[in-house]
Amino acid sequence: MSEMDIDDIKRRMEASLTSLQSEFMGLRAGRANPAMLEPIMVDAYGSKMPLNQVGNISAPESRLLTVSVWDASMASAVEKAIRESDLGLNPMAEGGLIRVPIPDLSEERRKDMVKVAGRYAEACKVAMRNIRRDGIETARKAEKDGLISEDDRHQQEAEVQKVTDTYVKKVDDALAHKEKEITQV
C-alpha cells in the first residue's frame, strides 16, 4: 500500500462527508430553500432520478417552494416523491407546477428532523467504516503477498484508523451543528 492509497482513502471519506453535507442541506430549519428537495429521487422513465433533473426548483416566498416539471406527465410522480420523502411536506400539483408549502416547524417536527439527520450521519459513518475496512484489507493482502512487513502493515492500519477517526469526528461535528440549527427557534 503506497502513499497514494491513503490519499485515496481520504478522498473517498471526503466524498462521503460532502454527500452528508448535501443531505443536511435538505433538512432546512423553517425557511424554504430549493436545496431541500434536491436529495429527493423521482421514479422517472423507468429509473430513479434526482428531482432537479426532472424539473426546476425555486423558492418564490420564504414559506413556499415550487417545482416546474419539464415533462407534465411526470408531475404526479414528482408530487408522490415529495410527499413520501422524510421531509413531511404536502405538495399540491397544478398542471406542470407543484407548489410545496413549507410548514412552520413544530417541536415534534424538529425532533423528527434531528432523527433524520442522525440517520444520515450514521449512514455516512457506516460508509467510512467500509472504506477503512477496504484499506486494512489492502494492507493485510500486501503483507500476505510479501510486499510489506508486519510492522509496515501495523503502521498502515494505524494510519487508516487515524484518518477514519478524523473523518468520523467531522461527521459528529457536522451533526451537532445541524442539530443546533434545527432546534433553535
Residues 3-49 pLDDT 10s: 448 899 999 999 999 999 888 877 766 677 788 888 889 988 888 98
| Residues ≥6 apart with Cβ < 8 Å to 94 | none
Q: Which three cell numbers stand for residue 25?
A: 442541506
Tell me which of 3.40.50.2300, 3.20.20.80, 3.40.50.170, 1.10.132.20 is the CATH number of domain 3-24+106-183.
Answer: 1.10.132.20
Q: Are 21 and 38 in contact (CB under 8 A)?
A: no
Domain boundaries, the chain: 3-24+106-183, 31-101
User: How high is the mean pLDDT of the chain?
Assistant: 88
Q: What is the pLDDT of residue 185?
A: 60
CATH among 3.40.30.10, 3.40.50.720, 3.30.1360.40, 2.60.40.790 for 31-101 = 3.30.1360.40
Lowest mean pLDDT of 3-7, 121-125, 131-135, 149-153, name the range: 3-7
The pTM score is 0.67
CA–CA distance from 49 to each of 57, 84, 118, 124 (Å)?
Answer: 14, 15, 24, 21
Tell me the pLDDT band of 134, cut-offs 50, 70 and 90.
very high
Q: Give strand ranges (E) for 2-127.
A: 41-44, 47-50, 55-61, 64-69, 92-94, 97-101
Structure confidence by residue, pLDDT tens digits, 44-59: 888 898 888 889 999 8
Q: What is the pLDDT of residues 69-80, one digit of tens each?
A: 998 888 889 999
Element (DSSP H or E) covering residue 122: helix 107-144
